[in-house]
Structure 1
């Protein structure tokens, strides 16, 4: 998720629109986009339930943590605390494989350092709870990516992602409906801009964005997947700079981006050397 999306949530939704309603809207719109593409030929009950569980964790529960964090932290603090996801991906992937890959962990940590060089800003004095909430979101996001990658790798006949991905969003929608019913408040969007942002975040960022991201996760190794979670940060800043003309510290961007690219290079070099 780019810095521009973070800013949209922080400026227009956080504290103004009920976070559970925002999550419900996003997951509903994402499901609405992909449910028509479901195909029974590629789905069985076991696969459908597994996809729903992955979507419930990676999107549904993650969004609940994520939106709550904006009530506890400033936007820059949320941004800096999201950079630890590569470490969780590496550790979870190794745990599933019953192994430990120190080199992948090293490159993941290197990508975290690169992202920190770009994102670090002054922190408020009371941020511990917010930090823990963001880590909850990071862990859910990491588990979902690895689980989706592993699930698709185990299929004897590879299904088209488009034909099954609606189940992913359906799982997220079920979590968001339940959480809104239990904890939601009557704080709904009052301005067309807020509705427009929710529509974009639902159909675009949540719908198409997660489809492309998870599909890409199945095409790369675990180390590259971990690093690319932080490679989004310089990419998002470049987009903001070129399209939205936002102020960006070019020195921090180039330095941190260079470290992330170095971590990706080292990861790919190590992966190639491991192949027979």
Structure 2
């Protein structure tokens, strides 16, 4: 992993840190010397990641968090501020996907759950993280996890595509709100990444989506983490309001 010395000692809040991309970002931040404040809906998974960071010599706190609730997002940020005095960055990663269905057959609860977590959860976290950064008087970096489907469409997933497009739009708009305050806001748009979430869709068949990727393979969580840490670090100090595709060339095809 590339070195990011400026992340050492920084306070970074990560949602959905208990598995997949969020888990790997938390571990990478711990290895970089950041102080990780991890939110996750599943308590056992989230606590296990925080424990692993500490076992490897890092600093981490865990708080059970449902990002669909603004009050819980506010409490997660408040925990970081009360314990460490400030926050320097956030990776708003928590997300979920339900079944593939044509729009007229999509259950209302699937629409509601995905919009609540994937879009409203990002909006809530940006709101509370930006407020904490402004009140702390320090610059910061916020990275939102969208998807390749925040940039292009996918059949039978209209509700998910809508949420992820919303994350891209919200990222661009919020970046303009805070650019003059030294708070940078960007989004990543991963393609197929080897995570438990993808495995549930593919049954563990790594080749299911590889044929649609110009690089002819799916990505790894660490390839996502490298991009997220770069965006959180001072190495991307002139980057805000942008989306970074991590998709093996899918959006170019």
On whether the aligned pair clears a TM of 0.5, the verdict is no
Greater relative contact order structure (CA < 8 Å, 6+ sep): 1
Query: Of Structure 1 and Structure 2, which has the larger fraction of its residues in strand?
Result: 2
